[in-house]
A and B are shown apart, each in its own frame.
Chain A
Amino acid sequence: MGALTDKYCIVGVGETPHMRPSNRTTLSMACEAVSKALADAGLKPSDVDGMTSYQAGDSTTSAAVATSLGMRLNYSLDILGGGSSTEALVAHAIGLIEAGYAKTIVCFRSMNGRSGRRMGGQVPGGPIPIANAEGDNQFNMSWGWTTPAQRFGMSAMRYLRDTGCTTDAFGEIAIAHRLHASLNPKAIHRTPITMEDHHRSRWVVKPFRLLDCCQETDVAAAIVITSREQAYDLRQPPVFIMGGYARTMTDNPQWNYSRREIHYVAGNYGWKRAFGMAGISHSDVDFISCYDAFTFTTLIQLEANGFCGRGEAGEFVKGGRLQIDHELPSNLSGGHLSEGYTHGIQMVIENVRQLRHRADDACPRWAEGIHTYDRKAGCRQLRKARICCGMAWGYENMASCLILRGIAA
Chain B
Amino acid sequence: MPGPIDYTKLRIIPDFDTREWWEATRQHKYLVRQCNRCGHKWFPPTFPACGKCASMDIGWFETAGKGVLYSYVVVVQPIIGAFVSAVPYVVAIIELDDCREEDGTVTRVAGVLTNDESEVAIGLPCEVLYEATNDPKIVVPRWRICGSAPNTWKFEE
Q: What residues make up the interface of A, taking CB atoms closer than 8 Å to B?
A: 120-122, 127-136, 138-147, 150, 153-155, 157-158, 160-161, 166, 202-207, 251-252, 254-255, 257-258, 260, 262
Contact = CB atoms under 8 A, between A and B. Distances in A.
Given A127-B81, A139-B46, A161-B71, A133 B11 contact: yes
Contact of A140 (B11, B76, B107, B110): B110
B71 A154 contact: yes
A203 B70 CA distance: 22
B147 interface: no
B107 A154 contact: no
Interface in B100-120: 104-108, 110-112, 117
B44 interface: yes
Contacts of B111: 143
B73 A134 contact: no
Given A143-B91, A155-B71, A127 B10 contact: no
Contact of B9 (A129, A145, A155, A257): A129
A252 B76 contact: no
Contacts of B15: 134-135, 138
19 contacts: A121-B80, A129-B81, A130-B81, A131-B10, A132-B11, A134-B13, A138-B12, A141-B80, A142-B140, A143-B142, A144-B86, A153-B73, A154-B73, A157-B72, A204-B76, A204-B77, A255-B43, A255-B47, A258-B43
A133 B108 contact: no
B78 A145 contact: no
Given A128-B79, A136-B46, A138-B44, A145 B110 contact: yes
A15 B83 CA distance: 37
Interface residues on B, range: 35 or more
A138 B155 contact: no
- Most chain-B Cβ atoms within 10 A of its Cβ — which of A130, A138, A202? A138
Given A143-B91, A254-B47, A255-B44, A127 B13 contact: no
Contact of A127 (B76, B79, B122, B155): B79
A144 B71 contact: no
- Most chain-A Cβ atoms within 10 A of its Cβ — which of B10, B43, B84? B10
The 4 closest A-B pairs by CB, nearest first: A139-B44, A144-B83, A206-B74, A158-B71
B68 to A, nearest CB: 13
B15 to A, nearest CB: 7
Contacts of A204: 76-77
B27 to A, nearest CB: 17
A141 B44 CA distance: 13
Contacts of A203: 74, 76-77
Contacts of B45: 139
